[in-house]
Structures are given as C-alpha cells and as structure tokens.
Structure 1
Amino acid sequence: MAKQKTSEPLTGTALLQKVKTLATLSKTQKAKACGYYTVTKGGGERVNLLQFLTALLEAEGIALDEPAAERGRDGRSANYRIAVQANGHLLIGTAYTEQMALQPGDAFELVLGRKHIQLKQLNPID
C-alpha cells in the first residue's frame, strides 16, 4: 500500500529535547511522538525507526555517511586519479567537475611535467 505524507518530523536540537522528555517510552513510541511515522492508505501507521535513529545521530553531530558533494554520481569517493582511455582520451569525472564548479565550455591549459599533467583553468573570455 502507498503511504500518505505526514507533517515534518523533528530534527536537530528540537528532536534531542523531545527525546529527553520521553525517557520512559520505548524507541518506537519515541519515534512516533517525534513525527517519524507515515499513515498508509488503509489508515494504519508505520513507524520509520531507521530514519528516527539516523536523525538522532545527526542531531548529536555523528554523520554515518560522507556528504554527497564528496562522492561521484555512483557514490564512490574521488581518488584524484584518471587513466587514459583506449581511444587516447582523458575523461574527467563528474565528481571533479562539480567540485571545481566547472561549466560546459570551460577551457584549460595542459602543463606537462616530468611525471604529471596539470590542468590549469584559463580565465573566461568576457
């Protein structure tokens, strides 16, 4: 059954304060009281315990995942290395272009070193 959207659940310090006031309840009851549940089409309630616990960790300043900006499209971290493709091209991935805020048409100068290639961004022509 599809779920219906409920009001926004508590986050941050508001979540921490609410949980402290609910010390005698179970974690499922705490999650529901903080808004971490959905109402199904049939009128039943489903508690989103994983979202609740994740929000609690984030409110305490504990991040389980690295921020999305540091990962590429498929979730891998950038390792700042690229390989020459079979056709001789060098492909710079999305993780790098997003991190550098590059736009289509941006130009670079290749600086060839003894053991490296450096990309130097050229100033845009106005």
Structure 2
Amino acid sequence: MALTGPDLLAKVKELGDGSKSDLVRAAGYVSIKKDGSERLNFTAFYEALLEAKGVSLGDGGGNGKGKGGRRLSYVATVQGNGNLLVGKAYTAMLDLRPGDEFEIKLGRKQIRLVPVGGADEEE
C-alpha cells in the first residue's frame, strides 16, 4: 500500500538522505511489470507528496500559481535561442533542488526528463 498524507511526509523525512529511487520504493510507489521487473512510479509519488504538502494538481483546487499569483499555464515555449525553459514554479512544485540531475529521453516530438538513477515510467 502506497503511503499518503502525514505518513508519506514522515517517510520522506526519515529517508531524506537516501536516493530518490529508494524513497519511492520505501513509500510503496512500485509496481511489477509483466516481465517481473520493478517499475518505480515517480509521478504518482510526486503527486502524492505535493498533495501531502497541501498542493493539489486537480481542477483549480490547488495553488497552481507562479510568481505574482499568475496561474501556471503548463505550457513551455522554445525560445529564440533554442532553449526550452521550465520555470521555478514547476521545479518548486516537485521540490527539486539545484544540482538534481535528469536524463533527457527524446521521443517522437516529445522530451521526457527522468531523474538520474530513477526508472522511466513509460518504456
């Protein structure tokens, strides 16, 4: 059973120095694929963590606002120099810190960021 609410927050605090994969596993956000291998459900974990911290990603019920109280658009635009910027409001929602690393996975017309050492949820 996956942890939620205060139980999830306590587990995160308890294992704060561990790897993200270990934390997701310990919190119960893991499933077994058809081939018997393990799938770490990072998205469900982060959504539950945000919910436990009082941030809802539902239909306008949560904070969902960036700097200055503007509502987040959940859209990123490629800039003139070719950069694609993910703003601070989004990284803060996932409690990302300077130095957190992500593997860039390119698909057909998509870019997926997967935490280094984590499992890609859609293989």
**TM-score of Structure 1 vs Structure 2, range by shorter chain:** 0.3 to 0.5
TM-score for the superposition, normalised by structure 1? 0.45
TM-score for the superposition, normalised by structure 2? 0.46
> Which structure would you say has the larger Rg?
1
